[in-house]
Amino acid sequence: MNIVIDVGNTYIKLAVFKKHKLVLREVVIEAEVLKTIKSIIKKHKSIKQAIVSSVGRLNKSTTNYLKDTFDFIELNSNTKLPFKNNYKTPKSLGVDRIALVSASVYQYPASNVLIIDAGSCITYDFINDKNEYQGGAISPGIRMRYKVLNNLTANLPLLETEIPSSIIGDSTENSIHSGVVNGVLNEIDGVIANYKEKYSDLTVILTGGDANFLSKQLKSSIFANSNFLLEGLNHILQFNSN
């Protein structure tokens, strides 16, 4: 069995896999992560391998514990990957994006796949049917757009995310909701349409914290999967153990 740890900017996701089957998933803050890992391995004593993907911060005591307890991989640009990486600056490619592409390789082999991760940022990653990662795009996420409007202007309020009632905002608050949410939806639908002009057999995956919120409103045909990154990390771990 494997334990998979995704360290985000706010929360840490932990998952246990039996081969490629997800058997447990938890979300914690950094202060709780080591205690949670120890609790997990008491229940799942057959865990032998661990992998960490970190875009946030994981304290050294947790990292050292993982190294001492498991066959351990800390995902980085030097990790052996199940795809060819054609990114021109591979050392700057986020480990979260690497994990997402790895998940697509396992679940949709020999396919043209666009992975959209709607979180703090919205990332777009494309891998072709020759198993070659080509790159993608990065843009501000939903919450970032709300915060920028508040932070960089004198009078616009900071609002909670909300589905706009109309494309036409009849108040400042409704105008912000329309601009932010409809802007994101039109961006994503537009990007998908551009890719489909080149790749008619395109598979589109939507994941990340805002995936459920967005999936019901997008015009394009997509597959929503909130565990896609965790599944990708597990596939990298399996790939390196073979």
Strands 2-7, 12-18: pairing is antiparallel
Residue type, 69: T
Backbone angles phi, psi at 138, to 5 degrees: -135, 130
Q: What is the pLDDT of residue 54?
A: 87
Strand partners, 84: 132
Average pLDDT over residues 86-107: 95
Please say which residue of 56, 74, 92 terminates a domain: 74
Annotated binding-site residue? 25: no
Q: Say whether both 82 and 37 belong to one domain.
A: no
C-beta atoms surrounding 210 within 10 Å: 20
Q: Say whether both 92 and 104 belong to one domain.
A: yes
Q: Say whether both 88 and 14 belong to one domain.
A: no
Say which CATH number the domain at 145 has.
3.30.420.40
Asked whether 236 and 102 are in contact (CB, 8 A), the reply is yes
Q: What is the pLDDT of residue 90?
A: 94
Interatomic CA distance for residues 123 and 119, integer angstroms: 8
Asked whether 2 and 234 are in contact (CB, 8 A), the reply is yes
State pLDDT tens for residues 164-216.
999 999 999 999 999 999 999 999 999 999 999 999 999 999 999 899 999 98
C-beta atoms surrounding 133 within 10 Å: 24
Cα 24–chain centre separation: 18
Residue type, 54: S
Annotated binding-site residue? 201: no
State pLDDT tens for residues 217-240.
998 878 988 899 999 999 999 999
Q: Say whether both 123 and 234 belong to one domain.
A: yes
Strands (E), the chain: 2-7, 12-18, 21-28, 49-54, 71-74, 84-85, 113-118, 121-127, 132-140, 203-207, 223-224
Q: What is the pLDDT of residue 236?
A: 96
Q: Say whether both 41 and 92 belong to one domain.
A: no
Backbone angles phi, psi at 172, to 5 degrees: -60, -45
State pLDDT tens for residues 32-84.
999 999 999 999 988 999 999 987 778 888 889 999 999 999 999 999 999 99
Q: Say whether both 208 and 128 belong to one domain.
A: yes
Annotated binding-site residue? 108: no
Q: Active-site positions?
A: 96
Asked whether 107 and 133 are in contact (CB, 8 A), the reply is no
Please say which residue of 74, 99, 132 terminates a domain: 74
Q: Say whether both 89 and 58 belong to one domain.
A: no
Asked whether 103 and 81 are in contact (CB, 8 A), the reply is no
Annotated binding-site residue? 141: no
Q: What is the pLDDT of residue 55?
A: 78
Annotated binding-site residue? 8: yes
Q: Say whether both 69 and 101 belong to one domain.
A: no
Task: Record the pTM.
Answer: 0.91
Q: Which helix (H) or strand (E) holds 239?
A: helix 228-241
Q: What is the pLDDT of residue 206?
A: 96
Q: What is the pLDDT of residue 118?
A: 95
Name the domain count of the chain: 2
Asked whether 228 and 115 are in contact (CB, 8 A), the reply is yes
179 DSSP 8-state letter: I
Range of the domain at 224: 76-242
Q: Say whether both 14 and 101 belong to one domain.
A: no
End-to-end, the C-alpha distance of the chain in Å comes to: 14
